[in-house]
Amino acid sequence: MYRKKPLVVFIMGVSGVGKSTIGKLLSDKYNLPYFDGDDYHPESNIKKMSQGISLNDEDRYGWLCTLNELAKDQIKKNSCIIACSALKEKYRDLLSEGIKTNVKWVLLDGSFDKVLNRMKKRRAHYMPVSLLESQFETLEYPIDALKINIESTPKEIVKIINDEIFKKSEFGLIGLGVMGKSLSRNLASKGIIVSIFNRHLHGIEENIAIDFKNEFTELNDALAFDDLGSFVNSIQKPRKIMLMVNAGKTVDVVVDKLLPYLSDDDVIIDGGNSHFKDTRRRIEFLRTKTINFIGSGVSGGEEGALKGPSIMPGGDQIAYKLVQPYLEAIAAKDKNNFPCCAYIGEYGSGHFVKMVHNGIEYAEMQLLAEVYFILKYVGNNPSEIADILEGWKSKANSYLLEITIDILRKKDGKGWLIDDILDKAGNKGTGNWTTVETAKLGIPSTMIASALFARYVSSFKEERIKMDELYNRRVKAFNMDTNDLLEAYELARIVNHHQGFKMLLEASKSYRWELNLSKIARIWTNGCIIRSSLLEELSVVLRETDNILYDQNIRNRINELKLQLDSVVSKSILVEIAIPCFSEAVNFLNGYMNSDSSANLIQAQRDYFGAHTYQKKSDDSGKYYHTKW
Ligand code: 6PG
Ligand 1, atom 13, residue with closest C-alpha: 428
Specify the pLDDT at position 153.
Answer: 95
- The reply to whether 162 and 258 lie within a common domain is no
- The reply to whether 275 and 193 lie within a common domain is yes
Domain limits at 625? Answer: 598-629
Q: Report which ligand 1 atom has the smallest distance to the Cα of 529.
A: 7
The answer, yes or no, to whether any atom of ligand 1 lies below 6 A from the CB of 358, is yes
pLDDT in tens, 83-103: 999 999 999 999 999 999 999
Q: Which of 361, 432, 434, 459 to mutate to test the pocket of ligand 1 (most atoms within 8 A of CB)?
A: 361
CA neighbor of 493 nearest in space, from 613, 381, 620, 368: 368
- The reply to whether 565 and 606 lie within a common domain is no
Q: What distance in angstroms lies between residue 358's CA and the mean position of ligand 1's atoms?
A: 6
Q: Is the pLDDT of residue 125 over 70?
A: no
pLDDT in tens, 164-198: 998 999 999 999 999 999 999 999 999 999 999 99
- The reply to whether 445 and 482 lie within a common domain is yes
- The reply to whether 606 and 584 lie within a common domain is no
d(CA 354, CA 276): 9
d(CA 264, CA 292): 9
User: What single DSSP character describes residue 308?
Assistant: -
- The reply to whether 248 and 282 lie within a common domain is yes
Residue 130's pLDDT band, with cuts at 50, 70 and 90, is: confident
Can you give the C-alpha Rg of the chain in angstroms? 30
Q: How many domains does the chain have?
A: 4
Mean pLDDT of 47-67: 90
Q: Which of 208-217, 354-363, 476-485 has the lowest mean pLDDT?
A: 476-485
User: Does a structural domain hold residue 474?
Assistant: yes
What would the DSSP string read from start to end of 473-538? Answer: ---------HHHHHHHHHHHHHHHHHHHHHHHHHHHHHHT----HHHHHHHTSSSSTT-BHHHHHH
Q: Is the pLDDT of residue 34 over 80?
A: yes
* Axis crossing angle, helix 580-592 with helix 349-378, rounded to the nearest 10: 110
Specify the pLDDT at position 126.
Answer: 54
Question: Which has more confidence, 460 or 116?
Answer: 460
User: Does a structural domain hold residue 47?
Assistant: yes
- The reply to whether 447 and 416 lie within a common domain is yes
Q: Which of 398, 399, 529 to mutate to test the pocket of ligand 1 (most atoms within 8 A of CB)?
A: 529
User: Does a structural domain hold residue 97?
Assistant: yes
Residue 119's pLDDT band, with cuts at 50, 70 and 90, is: confident
- The reply to whether 21 and 142 lie within a common domain is yes
Most confident of the ranges 48-57, 352-361, 468-477: 352-361
Q: Is the pLDDT of residue 547 over 90?
A: yes
> For a pLDDT cut of 90, what percent of the chain falls above it?
89
CATH, residue 446: 1.10.1040.10
pLDDT in tens, 405-449: 999 999 999 899 999 999 999 999 999 999 999 999 999 999 999
Question: Which has more confidence, 77 or 450?
Answer: 450
Question: Which has more confidence, 4 or 270?
Answer: 270
- The reply to whether 588 and 605 lie within a common domain is no
Q: Is the pLDDT of residue 597 over 70?
A: yes
Specify the pLDDT at position 2.
Answer: 45
Phi then psi for 277, rounded to 5 degrees? Answer: -75, -35
CATH, residue 226: 3.40.50.720
Q: What distance in angstroms lies between residue 235's CA and the mean position of ligand 1's atoms?
A: 30
Residue 51's pLDDT band, with cuts at 50, 70 and 90, is: confident
Mean pLDDT of 476-487: 93
Q: What distance in angstroms lies between residue 122's CA and the mean position of ligand 1's atoms?
A: 63
> What is the SS3 assignment for 626?
coil
Region of 558 (left: φ > 0; alpha: ψ -120 to 50; beta: rest) is alpha
Mean pLDDT of 149-156: 95
- The reply to whether 448 and 587 lie within a common domain is yes
Q: What distance in angstroms lies between residue 289's CA and the mean position of ligand 1's atoms?
A: 32
User: What single DSSP character describes residue 260?
Assistant: G
Q: Where is the domain boundary, 166, 193, 211?
A: 166
Q: Which listed residue (170, 328, 346, 361) is catalytic?
A: 361
User: Does a structural domain hold residue 3?
Assistant: no
pTM: 0.93
Q: For all residues of the chain together, what is the average pLDDT?
A: 95
User: Does a structural domain hold residue 222?
Assistant: yes
User: Does a structural domain hold residue 21?
Assistant: yes
CATH, residue 156: 3.40.50.300
Q: Which of 45-59, 185-199, 514-528 has the lowest mean pLDDT?
A: 45-59
Mean pLDDT of 266-293: 97
Q: Where is the domain boundary, 114, 138, 166?
A: 166
Residue 478's pLDDT band, with cuts at 50, 70 and 90, is: confident
d(CA 579, CA 556): 25
Specify the pLDDT at position 1.
Answer: 42
Q: What distance in angstroms lies between residue 548's CA and the mean position of ligand 1's atoms?
A: 25
Q: Is the pLDDT of residue 493 over 60?
A: yes
Q: Is the pLDDT of residue 3 over 70?
A: no
- The reply to whether 522 and 415 lie within a common domain is yes
Q: Where is the domain boundary, 142, 166, 190?
A: 166
User: Does a structural domain hold residue 452?
Assistant: yes
User: Does a structural domain hold residue 2?
Assistant: no
Ligand 1, atom 7, residue with closest C-alpha: 299
Q: Report which ligand 1 atom has the smallest distance to the Cα of 431.
A: 17
Residue 476's pLDDT band, with cuts at 50, 70 and 90, is: confident
Ligand 1, atom 9, residue with closest C-alpha: 358
- The reply to whether 559 and 439 lie within a common domain is yes
> What is the SS3 assignment for 268?
strand
